[in-house]
């Protein structure tokens, strides 16, 4: 009986070691985009506000107030007013890459914008999925929580597991 208990305990410990103890919380990386440091270009399909309209952007990132890579991406209008879960907003699909010193983090997800505005509403966090990464971030999964702050800066809270 002692052998069976010992083998069961060894099996449980081995499986916990192999899974990395799934109960562990995410790693969190907080980055900031300062006001006025981003470049944003609007590419309109036809009249302003058409499906397919796109914004291309790049923005330097700060970590603890110091330069820490850049964010590059596109936002494409994919939904009309009156549809989806936010009928008073435009649906925009974000494709973005955080190019950081240790590697890249790739992000994809929807955002909901007031028509005619290029900025998220202040203090309404938006979550988007992390879909991949390179080098130190290879195999990454998680989400990025973007918040437009009162001072017009943005906080990017990158919550991830590897």
User: Domains in the chain: how many in total?
Assistant: 1
Task: From residue 30, give the alpha-carbon distance in Å to each of 55, 110, 112.
Answer: 24, 21, 22
- CATH number for the domain spanning 37: value is 2.40.480.10
Percent of the chain with pLDDT over 90: 52
Cβ 76 vs Cβ 92: under 8 Å:
yes
pTM of the model: 0.80
**pLDDT tier, 18 (very low <50, low <70, confident <90, very high otherwise):** very low
Q: CA-to-CA distance for 112 and 85, rounded, in angstroms?
A: 9
Domain range spanning residue 51? 25-161
The residue-averaged pLDDT of 147-151 equals 95
């Amino acid at each position: 009986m002692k052998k069976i208990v010992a083998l069961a305990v060894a099996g449980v410990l081995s499986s916990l070691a192999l899974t990395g103890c799934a109960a562990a919380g995410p790693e969190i990386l907080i980055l900031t985009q300062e006001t006025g440091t981003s470049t944003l270009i609007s590419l309109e399909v036809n009249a302003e506000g058409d499906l397919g309209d796109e914004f291309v952007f790049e923005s330097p990132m700060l970590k603890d107030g110091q330069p820490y890579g850049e964010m590059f991406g596109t936002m494409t209008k994919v939904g009309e007013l009156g549809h989806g879960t936010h009928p008073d907003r435009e649906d925009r699909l974000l494709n973005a890459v955080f190019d950081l010193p240790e590697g890249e983090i790739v992000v994809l997800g929807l955002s909901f914008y007031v028509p005619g505005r290029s900025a998220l509403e202040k203090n309404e966090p938006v979550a988007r999925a992390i879909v991949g990464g390179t080098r130190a971030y290879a195999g990454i999964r998680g989400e990025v929580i973007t918040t437009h702050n009162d001072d017009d800066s943005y906080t990017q809270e990158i919550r991830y597991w590897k």
